[in-house]
């Protein structure tokens, strides 16, 4: 049996800085790997997540030149947890600015979960800027996907965790969880915001892996949870700022010529495997990898193996 591929050994960024968007946001970025290597950009999840040092290790540092950044309002970007001028299309513009700053014509775009959404939106807007796509845990921002995770679906598999999520809501509010949480996450009372943020964030932190993981503790930490919950909810109540219900699928012809790998866990409770299947059906040229015995998280053994295989494949290893 083939040994599963693992993260590359840890390595540091060689340069960091902030991109001034001119719209009140400062975007933290870092460059790492080989400046003469294949250009790539890593798009983190959420919306409202952040980059971590181990995300660099998805790429061979001798063969890749990697840009990683914290999206607007989260991680080390400022202002923290800000919703102003924070939409999908603002982020798409930020990615393109970072490409130009890096001085590359094209780059490999790597995104998981919300990062896969953003990768598709960016590629469809700037197809000439993308050399390849590595997409994991596909999320297409369709109404049924939000309904599955925040109303009826995933809750049936995690009833005790969902009951905790609903605990601050009235019976009436429970018919529209995203809206009810939005009221609390945008409250003028920081204590109300934090209570809602921790519960919203922990729901995701405890359902992203097939088996329980101690990494979920990070999701309830105040600084992370506030940005994660406020920004994610802000995007979801606004339907991702995408006008058409199936916009990302309907515009797939724009990018079908771009080499791509689609990776999805069979038992992903955050984003159902149907999402990956629908994307692959619309994009038959892409390689689809459904990983057995895996959930949503990138670092589950089978998913991580396929991600490293994909980045190695596109760099010619």
> Which residues does residue 269 pair with via DSSP β-bridges, in sequence order?
none
Q: Examine residue 2 and state whether it is found in any structural domain, yes or no.
A: no
- Domain interval for residue 69: 13-142+242-314
Q: At what angle do helices 114-125 and 88-102 cross, to 10 degrees?
A: 70
pTM: 0.97
Q: Examine residue 3 and state whether it is found in any structural domain, yes or no.
A: no
113 is catalytic: yes
Q: Give pLDDT tens digits for 19-65.
A: 999 999 999 999 999 999 999 999 999 999 999 999 999 999 999 99
29 and 136 both lie in a single domain: yes
162 and 294 both lie in a single domain: no
165 and 292 both lie in a single domain: no
138 and 248 both lie in a single domain: yes
Q: Examine residue 6 and state whether it is found in any structural domain, yes or no.
A: no
Among residues 195, 181, 210, the alpha carbon closest in space to that of 269 is found at 210
152 and 136 both lie in a single domain: no
For residue 15, is it left (φ>0), alpha (ψ between -120 and 50) or beta?
Answer: beta
Q: Which of 44, 234, 264, 296 is catalytic?
A: 296
182 and 92 both lie in a single domain: no
What span, in angstroms and rounded, lies between the C-alpha atoms of 195 and 191? 6
Q: Examine residue 8 and state whether it is found in any structural domain, yes or no.
A: no
Tell me how many domains the chain contains. 2
77 is catalytic: no
44 and 128 both lie in a single domain: yes
220 and 72 both lie in a single domain: no
122 and 151 both lie in a single domain: no
Locate 208 and state its tokens.
């992203």
Q: Which of 44, 182, 268, 305 is catalytic?
A: 268
Q: Which of 77, 113, 116, 201 is catalytic?
A: 113
Q: Give pLDDT tens digits for 125-151.
A: 999 999 999 999 999 999 999 999 999
182 is catalytic: no
Q: Give pLDDT tens digits for 190-213.
A: 999 999 999 999 999 999 999 887
């Amino acid at each position: 049996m083939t040994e599963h591929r693992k993260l590359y050994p840890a390595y540091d960024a060689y340069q960091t800085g902030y991109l001034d968007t001119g719209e009140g946001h400062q975007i933290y970025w870092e460059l790492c790997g080989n400046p003469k290597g294949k250009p790539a950009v890593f798009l983190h999840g959420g919306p409202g997540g952040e980059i971590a040092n181990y995300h660099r290790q998805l790429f061979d540092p001798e063969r890749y030149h990697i840009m990683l950044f914290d999206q607007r309002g989260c991680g080390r970007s400022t202002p923290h947890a800000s919703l102003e001028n924070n939409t999908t299309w603002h982020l798409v513009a930020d990615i393109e600015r970072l490409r130009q700053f890096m001085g590359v014509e094209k780059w490999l775009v790597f995104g998981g979960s919300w990062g896969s959404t953003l990768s598709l939106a960016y590629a469809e807007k700037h197809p000439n800027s993308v050399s390849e796509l590595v997409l994991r845990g596909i999320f297409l921002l369709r109404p049924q996907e939000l309904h599955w995770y925040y109303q009826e679906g995933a809750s049936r598999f995690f009833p005790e965790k969902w009951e905790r999520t609903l605990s601050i809501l009235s019976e009436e509010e429970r018919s529209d969880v995203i809206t009810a949480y939005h009221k609390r996450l945008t409250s003028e009372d920081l204590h109300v915001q934090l209570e809602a943020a921790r519960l919203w964030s922990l729901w995701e932190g405890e359902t992203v892996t097939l088996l329980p993981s101690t990494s979920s503790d990070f999701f309830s930490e105040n600084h992370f949870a506030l940005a994660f919950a406020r920004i994610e909810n802000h995007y979801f109540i606004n339907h991702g700022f995408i006008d058409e219900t199936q916009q990302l699928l309907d515009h797939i012809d724009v990018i079908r010529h771009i080499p791509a790998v689609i990776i999805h866990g069979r038992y992903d409770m955050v984003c159902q495997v149907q999402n990956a299947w629908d994307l692959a059906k619309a994009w038959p040229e892409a390689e689809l990898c459904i990983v057995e015995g895996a959930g949503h998280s990138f670092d589950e053994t089978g998913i991580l193996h396929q991600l490293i295989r994909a980045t190695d494949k596109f760099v010619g290893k």
